[in-house]
Amino acid sequence: MVEVLMAALVMMGLLMSTNRVVTQGMAASGRAGLRSGLEQEILNDIESIQAIDTMLNAEPALSLACEQGQSNSSDYLAQKIAEQLAVPATSNWERTLNSDNKLLLVVTYDFEVPGRASNNEKRVIELSPSFASSCSLAL
């Protein structure tokens, strides 16, 4: 009888530790899925920004860009991004556009890492407006 009781206790300990490992694995998998989804949203936004930049090379968009008399090409690109691509209200990230450099638009994404308390990450993209060489906006 004592042997059966000891075997049951050992078995219960093994099952509890296995349960804990499985639970931690499931939680980590869930956090990884959330992070992956968040990073995919940011990548989609970056691709949309690149599409806007590419679209500005096409006529008549390029003619409009060159005729606007903007102070620099990164300002013009930032303006077009703000007009055409708003950050979704339900997103867990923020985007900032910095056009201090005339030939370089700096796009910064701030987001909170799922599963980490008060730990924010940033993604910084430096984008040289592709239409800048086609007109005198950059001068």
What tens digit of pLDDT does each residue of 101-116 get?
A: 888 899 999 988 766 6
Q: How many whole angstroms separate alpha carbon 127 and alpha carbon 99?
A: 10
Report pLDDT digits (tens) over 49-68.
999 988 887 766 666 666 65
Return the SS3 of 116: coil
Instruction: Give me the pLDDT at residue 101, please.
Output: 86
Amino acid making up residue 15? L
* Mean pLDDT score of the chain: 83
Q: For a pLDDT cut of 90, what percent of the chain falls above it?
A: 32
Q: Is the dihedral of CA 23, 25, 28, 34 positive or negative?
A: negative
Decide which of 136 and 135 is more confident.
Answer: 135
| 117 vs 106: CA distance, rounded Å | 27
Q: Among candidates 116, 115, 49, 44, which has minimal Cα distance to 77?
A: 49
Cβ–Cβ < 8 Å for 99, 72: yes
pTM: 0.72
- Across the range 118-130, mean pLDDT stands at 85
Confidence of residue 126 (pLDDT cuts 50, 70, 90): very high
pLDDT in tens, 56-99: 877 666 666 666 555 578 888 898 899 999 888 888 889 999 98
